[in-house]
Amino acid sequence: MADDVWLVVGLGNPGPSYARTRHNIGHLVADELAARTGAKWKQSKQVKAEVIETRISGLRTVLAKPRAYMNESGGPVSGLLKFFKLDPANLVIVHDELDIDFGVLRCKFGGGDNGHNGLKSLRKSLGTGEYYRVRFGVGRPPGRQAPADFVLNEFSAAERKDLPFAVDRTADAVESLLTDGLESTQGKYNS
C-alpha cells in the first residue's frame, strides 16, 4: 500500500447546521486528519468538494469533504477519483453507521450500502462498492425515532464527552489503514 496515492473522503452534509450531527462524523474525522498535517482546506475548482493535498504518515494523500448533501456524495467523489486519476481501490470513505454502537469502529473493504444514502450515491456514481470503509458507529435511534432524524441530530451530551477521543481514534484507524493495511488495522481497531 505504501507506494500509492490515497483519496480519503469524510462523508457529511455541508453547512453549519449539520456540522455537529451524527451524519457528519466523516467531516469531523477529515478535519482531525487535516489538523494533524497542518494543511488548510481549499475549495476544489474541478469538483464540489473541499480538498487538501498532503502526506499522511509519509504517503501522498488527498483529503476531501464533498460539498454536496449526503445523498449526492457520489458525484464529487467520482469527480475526485477522475481528477486525481485514482482507482476506487485507493479510496477510503469515513462514514456513520447505525448498526454499530456509538464510537465502535469497523474497517472493511467493499460491501453493500446497508441503507446509507451516501454509500448508495457512491455506488451509483462509481459503479462499484469496492473501496475501503472506516465505519463509525452512531447506534440505533431510540424508540420509534426515524433513522434519518436520528443521524441529522447532534450527538447526545454523553456522546459529546467521548467524541474528541472517538474522532482521534478514528483518524488513527485511517492512518493505520493507509500504512499498515486492512488486516492489521482491523486487528487493532475493529471492536
> Which ranges constitute the DSSP H helices of 65-116?
74-83
Whether 13 has a binding-site annotation, put simply, is no
Q: Residue 57 has what pLDDT?
A: 87
By the 8 A CB rule, do 179 and 3 touch? no
pLDDT in tens, 119-149: 999 999 999 999 999 999 999 998 899 999 9
pLDDT in tens, 87-116: 999 999 999 999 999 999 999 999 998 889
Whether 71 has a binding-site annotation, put simply, is yes
Per-chain mean pLDDT for the chain: 94
What is the set of active-site residues?
Answer: 23
Residue 96 backbone dihedrals phi, psi, to 5 degrees? -75, 155
- Whole-number percent of the chain with pLDDT over 90: 92
- State the pLDDT confidence band at 3, using cuts at 50, 70 and 90: low
Count CB neighbours of 150 within 10 A: 18
Q: Residue 45 has what pLDDT?
A: 86
- Of 33-42, 57-66, 109-118, minimum mean pLDDT range: 109-118
Q: Specify the 3-state DSSP secondary structure of 21.
A: strand
Cα separation, 94 vs 127, whole angstroms: 19
Q: Residue 2 has what pLDDT?
A: 43
- Whole-number percent of the chain with pLDDT over 70: 98
Residue 170 C-alpha cell reads as 478514528
Whether 18 has a binding-site annotation, put simply, is yes
Rounded to 10 degrees, the C-alpha dihedral 187/126/57/190 comes to -20
Whether 189 has a binding-site annotation, put simply, is no
